[in-house]
Amino acid sequence: MSGHPDGTGRTPGATLPSVTERDGTTKESGDARTAPEPPCDSAARCDGTAASLGDYRAAFHAARHPMAVLNRDGLVLAANPAFGELVGAAPDDLVAATAADLTDLGADPRVWTAYREVLCGRSDRLRCTRRLKQSDGNSVWVEVTVEPVADGPAGGEERVLLSVSDISDRHDLLARLRHLQMHDPVTRLPNRALFFERLAAALETAAFEPAGTGRIGLCYLDLDGFKAVNDTLGHRVGDRLLSAVAQRLTRCAESAADRGPGRGGHLVARLGGDEFALLVEDSTGTDQVAELAQCVLDALQRPFDLAGQRLSVSASIGVVERAASGTTATGLMQAADTTLYWAKEDGKARWTLFDPERNAHRMTRQALSSTLRPAVDRGEFTLEYQPLVGLGDGRAQGVEALVRWRHPQFGVLSPNRFIALAEENGAIVELGRWVLERACYQARAWQLAHPGGQPLFVSVNVAVRQVWDSDLVADVAGILAETGLPPRLLQLELTESAVMGSAGRPLQALQALSDMGVRIAIDDFGTGYSNLAYLSRLPVSVLKLDGSFVHGFRSQEHPNPADEMIVEALVALAHRLGLTVTAECVESAEQAERLRRIGCDTGQGWLYSRPVAPDRVEALLDAGRACG
Ligand code: C2E
Ligand code: MG
Ligand code: MG
């Protein structure tokens, strides 16, 4: 380990003797005072060809730069008057003093280590910035350089030169520039850059300093409807409002910090536009940060008087509080951003607390949604089939194709997890086409494998977006032609809401499909408008009664006559209108028997079979198709 804060290497030219070699009279650098004519040292020749030891000594004394020669233990051997002036002591009194104490090299562990490395000869130079308190109470910013004296006395102890330059002016200028760079001119609050710097430092401190709580909290705030203020009243009023909001936030943060146990005040920053952040270092739990958020909402509730304009605003706040270890600035901000979005979504003018479960759900939704399309190409979907059974004879007449996603990360997912997402992002078109094709191939394969018997039809679910966003009629026609499946062996299930009010394209599509010989079924009937009169005018031939009706049948001991009467009436009406009826979710023999008595045509449910892989359907066909 070099121990160098700046990583620089040895620079022999900076040591005392070689400095004077550059200029025998003016000594050291341009700002060094001209030394008085040095007296001739008896030990050196005074012939003008080389500087004598006396020259060096005089230069050392006259130099404006504070300098001290140290031994390898860091004790002062000699100090020049400038150094004495800097530390407020006579140079002679400084002999044997500890140089590190005089120049504050011990306060920062990293500086201290680097300094020790130079003293013991393992490193060539230390250069660091220190702030020194002077005897008059003022402080100066200095740059301290420590490096070995290359040409120490022959055979004698090696020396180290410590030199100091006053950089207060430069430091002040840089500090002013940095302030400008790190603050927002409108509100005078720390800006985004400073906020992230402080956040990173806070996370580091909290993770490595056991004294604090090891936690961090953040309120991420966005004004509701600020754009309207800017648009209607102009940017000047908008800026004034932001500045007034900043003042109220600062007051909240100050009073919360006065009350709370944490270290120092809470940082309030403007992250841009109408977004602000309040950072709570060493937070004590969600309650503390939520209390701060509530205080901010209360403070913003009072209207603002801005040069004759009376304005009211509200804000939405995302609140995140967590252990600092394992938390990154990016992770914290992402959580805050999501939570702020929830606060807006939940109705604005409120604070919302980060909820890991809600977030996991969102992340999963996002992950699923974005990988749906590629998953179709990668062949991650499979179909299971569930028999549709004649209630009279208990024989399977058809099967419903139900899609599953074999997700490489989340395992097998049921359609309830992804069909709605696929409808939202349009992937349902590709997925639906794949399901249709796969199911038709399968049904045709069963038909060919059992040429003697009554073939099974396949019922395929179709989402409304497939009707709108793709040419369903052409797809179905193409797939039937390609697979050789007779149209009468295909049934398409659409939900009631998908066909309700359908005019134009969907209606034409349904009509064309029906004309082709494909059967149309209304899925989950009874959960929507249940408008049979309307449905009878559509080219629909099957009603699939929603499972809730059958659930309502209850057991023999607790019959629910109303449900049974409704189903009875529905079945009768459907039959009068030329529709056949399938009951979903038939789970018990008792339910099946009552449905049969009522006149229901087919049933589907666990009583007969769960949805199964195609080879299990094959076994069913081989066994003569009797279910249950
Ligand atoms: P659905 O069309 O009403 O399908 C019937 C659902 O009821 C299936 O759920 C099935 O597993 C379940 N089920 C069957 N028998 C019983 C029973 O006796 N009791 C109970 N409690 N449930 C039973 P699954 O497979 O999870 O499918 C859910 C829904 O996802 C389907 O409801 C359908 O709307 C949709 N879906 C499935 N596959 C596709 C597809 O390929 N495309 C489209 N667009 N939607 C699909
Ligand atoms: Mg269905
Ligand atoms: Mg259904």
Domain boundaries, the chain: 18-172, 183-354, 367-622
User: Residue length, the chain?
Assistant: 628
State the sign of the Cα–Cα–Cα–Cα dihedral 396, 400, 401, 403: negative
Residue entry with tokens 């359609």: 415
Q: 18-172 maps to which CATH number?
A: 3.30.450.20
Residue nearest to atom 5 of ligand 1 (CA): 584
pLDDT level of residue 504 (50, 70, 90 thresholds): low
Q: Please choose from 388, 544, 584 the residue to mutate so as to test ligand 1's pocket, defined by most ligand atoms within 8 A of CB.
A: 584
Q: Any idea which fold 183-354 has? A: Alpha-Beta Plaits (3.30.70)
Which pLDDT score is estimated for 31?
Answer: 36
Closest ligand relative to 431 C-alpha: 1
Ligand 2 centre to CA of 410 (Å) is 24
Q: What is the pLDDT of residues 26-56, one digit of tens each?
A: 333 333 333 334 344 444 444 555 678 888 8
Residue nearest to atom 27 of ligand 1 (CA): 415
pLDDT level of residue 470 (50, 70, 90 thresholds): confident
Average pLDDT, the chain: 87
Ligand 3 centre to CA of 520 (Å) is 13
Residue nearest to atom 37 of ligand 1 (CA): 402
Q: What is the pLDDT of residues 433-445, one digit of tens each?
A: 999 999 999 999 9
Least confident of 201-215, 420-434, 479-493: 201-215
Q: 367-622 maps to which CATH number?
A: 3.20.20.450
How distant, in Å, are the alpha carbons of 17, 362, 375, 613 from that of 131?
28, 50, 62, 77
pLDDT reading at 580 higher than 80:
yes
| Stretch 451-462: mean pLDDT | 93
Residue type, 266: H
Ligand 1 centre to CA of 400 (Å) is 9
Q: Please choose from 381, 386, 402, 465 the residue to mutate so as to test ligand 1's pocket, defined by most ligand atoms within 8 A of CB.
A: 402
**CB-based pocket (< 6 A), ligand 1:** 386, 402-403, 414-416, 419, 432, 435, 461, 463, 493, 523-524, 547, 584-587, 604-606, 611
Which pLDDT score is estimated for 514?
Answer: 96
Which pLDDT score is estimated for 320?
Answer: 97
Ligand 2 centre to CA of 521 (Å) is 9
Ligand 2 centre to CA of 280 (Å) is 52
pLDDT reading at 619 higher than 90:
no
Which pLDDT score is estimated for 134?
Answer: 83
Ligand 1 centre to CA of 367 (Å) is 23
Residue 626 bridge partners (DSSP): 395
Q: What is the pLDDT of residues 72-108, one digit of tens each?
A: 999 999 999 999 999 999 999 999 999 999 999 999 9
Neighbours of ion ligand 3 (CB under 5 A): 523-524, 584
Please tell me if the domain spanning 18-172 has the same topology as the one spanning 367-622: no
| Stretch 97-120: mean pLDDT | 94
Region of residue 225 (left: phi > 0; alpha: psi -120 to 50; beta: else): left
Ligand 2 centre to CA of 443 (Å) is 17
* Torsion, Cα of 192, 195, 200, 204 (10° steps): 180
pTM for this model (two decimals): 0.61
Q: What is the pLDDT of residues 370-423, one digit of tens each?
A: 999 999 999 999 999 999 999 999 999 999 999 999 998 888 899 999 999 999
**Measured in whole angstroms, how far is the alpha carbon of residue 569 from the centre of its chain?**
54
Closest atom of ligand 1 to CA, residue 384: 25
